[in-house]
Amino acid sequence: MKSIKVFGSLIKDSFHEVTQGSKAYHIWMAFLTFVMLFGMFNYGIQLDEGLSATGMTDRVSWGLYISNFTFLVGVAAAAVMLVLPAYVLKNIDFKQAVLIGEGLAVAALLMCLAFVIADMGGPARLWHMIPVIGVFNFPNSMLTWDVIVLNGYLFINITVPLYILIMRYQGKTPNPKVYIPGVFISVFWAVSIHMVTAFLYQGLQARPFWNNALLGPRFLASAFAAGPALIILVLAVIRKHTKFEVPDNTIKKISMIVTVAAQINLIMLISELFKEFYAPTHHSISAIYLFFGLDGKTALLPWIWTSISMNVIATVILTFHKLRNNFKVLYVVCGMLFVAIWIEKGFGLIVPGFVPGPWGKIAEYTPTFVEVSVTVGIWAMGAFIFTILAKTGIAIELGKLVYNKKK
């Protein structure tokens, strides 16, 4: 009964906290609300017209929605990897970033689920993915594995931080015996959610572009570059607009994770390009289309070469210690790397896998205005959720939100 009372008090205090703030904060939240509503309006158009309102066809059946889903699974997985050094290895430098990382993981996972619903054509089809109730082809379908690991990961990333925050809200010290097992599970689960997502593509023998042994490791390397890069950018904003102290050493250590992951990702990319183009076969058509165009079809060329250029430049700059420790440079480079990997794991991965089609024809994909609007709306939803989680968590950490037993 007491736990329910404490939780209810936390919800009430949190609601009061997130409705208060500076003028800039209210403008930010109003902007996100407007973008979400605009995205919902366009989603209504998609529900009315069906998936014909998107740029997807019977030849290219995955597009912008699944591209973002694939990318965000990696962001969610990488964001929580700060948990291990903070809670288990007792590295104080990661303590200030760990709750931010877990908040990002929760927001990213909810965005993943939203993109899946958008891609399915409508929320009414969601029941098919529910075990026992729906047609849950477990363990034969990798999609069912993905449903299990994503929802399990979401549950862990809600319960562990919630326990820690509730204890601190009451002025108590969290019991390591309670949350440390969840931390270990979350770390191994973080790897599994991205590997299982990679297996969705990797196990499709009829799609040579995806049927690659390096795909799983590349998924992890790119995730551990993009996720912490986003955390650095978020921490920069928090340092500027809140009283929450984030030491320089915290950002420097996270930047080391980004650097090593970006270097590994680039090495794997070079290895893959060597395999495709040194001795090309008929299985290299997808890669040729992606990097050089094919039969006059060049829609992806500006995207992939922009991605590679930004990826190489960012990785080279991060490699130099002095440049990496210049925070102004670091923030720009992290933004470049984040966008580069978003393109690489989005259009650079999904669309080429459908080239050529069953009859050897090339069907190009271009997202429609409706697709882009829904996508931007879901990103706004993620930013809205994360802002609420971060503001509440920071208020508890700073001692602004404290449980009042007399209430």
- pLDDT of 46: 94
**Position 407 in a domain:** no
Instruction: Please provide the DSSP assignment of 390-406 as one string.
Output: HHHHHHHHTTSS---TT
Q: Is 169 in contact with 401 (CB distance < 8 Å)?
A: yes
Q: Residue 266 in contact with residue 312, Cβ under 8 Å?
A: yes
Predicted confidence at residue 41, as pLDDT, reads: 96
In whole numbers, what is the pLDDT of the chain averaged over residues?
86
Question: What is the band of 90 on the pLDDT scale with cuts at 50, 70, 90?
Answer: low
Q: Give the whole-angstrom CA distance, residue 347 versus residue 371.
A: 14
Rounded Cα distance, 40 and 397, in Å: 34
pLDDT score at 134: 67
- Rounded alpha-carbon distances, angstroms, from residue 372 to 73, 123, 291, 368: 19, 19, 24, 6
Q: Give the per-residue pLDDT at 332.
A: 96
So what's the pLDDT on residue 365? 87
pLDDT > 60? residue 92: no
Q: What Rg, from alpha-carbon coordinates, does the chain have?
A: 22
Range of the domain at 228: 2-397
CA distances from 313 to 203, 206, 292 (A): 32, 34, 21
Candidates 360, 358, 209; CA nearest to 286 is 209
CA distance 298 to 289: 7
Mean per-residue pLDDT, 249-269 = 91
**How far is it, in rounded angstroms, from Cα 136 to Cα 130?**
7
- Domain contains 403: no
Q: What's the pLDDT at 39?
A: 96
Give mean pLDDT, residues 2-11.
82
Instruction: Report yes or no on 286 lying in a domain.
Output: yes
With respect to residue 203, please indicate whether it lies within any of the assigned structural domains: yes
**pLDDT score of 68 more than 80:** yes
**Range in 58-62, 255-259, 376-380 the model is least confident about:** 58-62
Residue 108: per-residue pLDDT: 92
**200-205: which pairs have CB atoms within 8 A and are 24 or more residues apart?**
200/142, 200/143, 200/146, 201/349, 201/353, 203/142, 204/353
pLDDT band at 407 (very low <50, low <70, confident <90, very high): low
> To 5 degrees, how large is the angle CA 392–CA 393–CA 394?
95
Is 404 a member of any domain? no
Token code pair at residue 93: 């430098």
Query: What are the tokens at 131?
Result: 């075990």
Q: What percent of the chain has pLDDT over 70?
A: 91
- 50-89 b/e (C-beta count within 10 Å ≥ 16 → b): ebebbbbeebbebbbbbbbbbbbbbbbbbbbbbbbbbbee
pLDDT at position 94 is 63
Average pLDDT of the segment spanning 284-310: 89
How do residues 302-347 score in pLDDT, each as one tens digit?
A: 999 999 999 999 999 999 989 999 999 999 999 999 999 999 988 8
Within a domain: residue 49?
A: yes
* pLDDT of res. 85: 62
Mean pLDDT is highest, among 227-241, 285-299, 393-407, for: 227-241
In this predicted structure, the answer to whether residue 226 has a pLDDT above a threshold of 60 is: yes
What is the CATH classification number for the domain harbouring 334? Answer: 1.20.1630.10
Q: If you average pLDDT over residues 251-268, what whole number do you get? A: 91
Residue 211, both tokens: 């049927």
The whole-angstrom separation of Cα 172 and Cα 395 is 16
More confident residue, 172 or 308: 308
Residue 86 predicted with pLDDT over 70: no
Tally of domains in the chain? 1
- Of 116 and 81, the structure prediction assigns the larger pLDDT to 116
Lowest mean pLDDT among 34-38, 78-82, 141-145, 251-255: 78-82
Cis amide bond preceding 139, omega within 30: yes
